[in-house]
Structure 1
Amino acid sequence: MAPKFRAWLKEEKRMTDVHEMTFIDGEVYLISDVTGFYAYDEFELMQSTGLRDKNGREIYEGDIVKYKYGVNTFTEVVTYDKDFAGFGLVDDDGYGSTVFTFGELAEDVDFSSLEVAGNIYENPELLKGK
């Protein structure tokens, strides 16, 4: 599976699919979508996890997902954990943040309950009160 990316365009305040990326010194410097080109300081890049939610929607870094664990429903942000080289969810308990990779969560969480509720750029209000 080829990696798939999307980007939040800061000035335009919109999400877009990334069609091409240009690298300089191993870092993404330029991206393009169907409308134009954007330099590194104009976007936030997010990679697909390769997973889909219960509605068939692709799950990306920066997405806010809801899921069931036992009788409780949780709302958390999808992130990439460099230490474990995997995607997971950020659990912020008010004392600090911990990332639980999808591999760790698979033992206890029913992934068929995962649902993308929004993302951190367009729907930050979904995380208020956490």
Structure 2
Amino acid sequence: MDTETKFRVWDKDRNEMYYLTDNTTENNSIMDMRIVFDELGICVFVKGYGEEEFKNIRNFKLMQYTGLKDMNGKEIYEGDIVEYCNTLTELSEVIVSKVIYRKGCFGIEGFFKGSFIAFSDISPEHIKIVGNVYEKEA
């Protein structure tokens, strides 16, 4: 498991995802992002390619990288929608669910309402990212 701490930010006003790791947005515009923790909470600032000043993102959702990659090598973040092939039962069912942080670890919402499957109980080769809660299919 990758132990690097990474974040991405969904700007609710601009409807755009910013990745801190590679300083690019999904549409490949170059970004510089700063996440500042202060006494008032979390402040996020972004600066686009060629722009002089940082813009404050006031309406956002901060999501952390889980440290895992899916079957295609794509990094899995909180808020991703994944397909998980549950091979623990005789029926080998496919669950489409959201990646969440619960009980001190990352995992997915289970097949039954309120249930939780920790990533420590799942093999990454059985997980495929199909989108996230903010954007359409990946």
Equivalent positions of 1:9-28 (< 5 A) are 9-18=11-20, 19-25=33-39, 27-28=41-42
Aligned mate of 1:111, from 117, 121, 124:
124
Aligned pair in 2 of structure 1 residues 98, 33: CA closer, same or farther (>3 Å)?
farther
Q: Structure 2-normalised TM-score? A: 0.72
- Distance of 2:47 and 2:5 partners within structure 1: 16
Residue 56 of structure 2 aligns with an amino acid whose one-letter code is: Y
**1:21-52 alpha-carbon deviations (Å, 9 max, x no partner):** 1111273122435464333x321110000100
Look up the match of 1:38.
56
Q: Which has the larger radius of gyration?
A: 2
- Distance of 1:3 and 1:57 partners within structure 2: 16
* Counterpart contact for 2:11–2:60, Cα < 8 Å: yes
Aligned mate of 2:108, from 89, 97, 100:
89
Q: How many residues align?
A: 115
Equivalent positions of 1:48-59 (< 5 A) are 48-59=65-76
Aligned pair in 2 of structure 1 residues 87, 26: CA closer, same or farther (>3 Å)?
farther
Aligned mate of 2:85, from 68, 82, 85:
68
What are the ranges of 5 or more consecutive residues in structure 1 without an aligned counterpart? 125-130
**1:76-130 alpha-carbon deviations (Å, 9 max, x no partner):** 100111xx2110101263xx42222212x23xxx431210000011139xxxxxx
Q: Percent identity?
A: 30
Higher helix fraction (1 or 2): 1
* Counterpart contact for 2:107–2:117, Cα < 8 Å: yes
- Distance of 1:101 and 1:9 partners within structure 2: 28
2:119 equivalent to 1:98: no
Residue 118 of structure 1 aligns with an amino acid whose one-letter code is: G
